[in-house]
A and B are shown apart, each in its own frame.
Chain A
Amino acid sequence: MTRPRTQARNTRWLDEAKGDLMTADNPGSGGGPDDEAGVTEAATLLSDVTRLRREARSARHAYWLPLVLFGGLTCASVPFYIEPMATCRAAARLVGPGHGGAARHSGCAGSTSAPFVPGFGGFLRQGWQGYLAVYWLASIAAGLAVTYLWYRRRGRQVGLVTPARGFLITGLVVSVLALVLATAGLLPGDLTIRGTLPFLIIAAGLWTLARAERSGALLVVAALYTAVALLASLYNIENVLFRLGWNPSPGQWQLTSLPNVLLPAFVLLAAGIAAFLAQRRTRRTA
């Protein structure tokens, strides 16, 4: 079979290098002009590979949208975390963390018509707060679908499709798993008592997305967000604010859950906006 002319020209150094190998006494010594040409071409090829990879990743990076989207959804969830009665929180503190059931018996639960979704709504189920779980179930489903469609659309626009199916599947699987484990009572109460379990589901999605995007920056964001989501799930962040001097008035006690929501939201929004600006600048200079 004859080799096309361009192919013959492009692989000539390879033949020469292989020829050298067959005749040279010490094939590893190098130093001949053909070997030098081969090494130079190898360096050029590797440099091309690096450049094309960088350009392709830069062209298809689009993770600013899921970051901003889930940051926005977290901000929109704030009303569900505002406590209608300060006494509910006090009651919960009295019975201690991980005893949501006891807190519900203290008069803070049972006064909502919202369906009970284990794990997703925290222990405070009074008035509109009871709909926190419904809000998050709907938001996670919508966020996953919008992100998936965003990547399909963006892929068609730039000509490089990011494998976003993994993000969708991971989000759905982790959500269902969380529901099943919470229903079976296998999730630690500390993870579910504050209604911040959805943050950990978002974190799992970010890890998958970072892998699909092959983005080191998104990997850093995923790690940071996971740390913040765990902190928000396991610790009352307002305690830090109290130590820093925040002395809430009686009316502000209703807002003391919000640092646990706003900090993860801030991480997502700040990272999303920074990514948007960086990705826009890259595309302009490309």
Chain B
Amino acid sequence: MSAPEHPTNGLDETVHQRHRLGILTIAAEAESADFGYLRDALGLTPGNLSRHLSVLEEAGLIQVWKGYQGRRPRTWVRITGQGRSALAAEIAALTKLLRRHGQAKPG
């Protein structure tokens, strides 16, 4: 009989990073999220946030586009279907890991 799969096997290294997980979480809560909101909510510098967005965009987990509000340029982020699946898988894996640990702890 094979051993049950360890929850960490469900973790994706692209998503399993605090800030990228945060970006996906926020993006999944709205139709689209503004660069400024993400920066403030996650406490990141613009450069750091840009790098994380690039990683997620390259992985096909988000879409990034630029627009204007009046004369002010704004960058918007939208989570893709793949991104939603990856986020759900990550949260499920983390939850499973915690539950498993809780069960393994002596009473």
Contacts and interface: CB of A to CB of B under 8 A. Distances in A.
Interface in A22-72: 27-31, 35, 38-39, 42-46, 48-49, 52-53, 55-57, 59-60
A49 B37 CA distance: 16
B64 to A, nearest CB: 14
A11 interface: yes
B81 interface: no
The number of chain B residues touching the other chain, given as a range, is 35 or more
Contacts of A11: 13, 16-17
Point out which of A39, A43, A163 has the most chain B C-beta atoms below 10 A from its C-beta: A39
A156 interface: yes
Nearest to B78: A161
B22 A52 contact: yes
B89 interface: no
Given A7-B13, A160-B26, A31 B104 contact: yes
Contacts of A163: 30-31
A42 B94 contact: yes
B46 to A, nearest CB: 14
Interface size range on A against B: 35 or more
Contacts of B8: 14, 17-18, 21, 38
A7 B17 contact: yes
A260 interface: no
Most buried by A among B8, B18, B91: B8
Given A10-B18, A30-B100, A56 B69 contact: no
A59 B31 contact: no
11 contacts: A14-B8, A28-B104, A35-B101, A38-B97, A43-B98, A48-B18, A53-B25, A53-B29, A57-B29, A160-B29, A214-B29
Given A161-B32, A162-B31, 9 more contacts: A10-B18, A11-B13, A17-B8, A46-B94, A48-B22, A53-B29, A158-B37, A159-B33, A161-B33
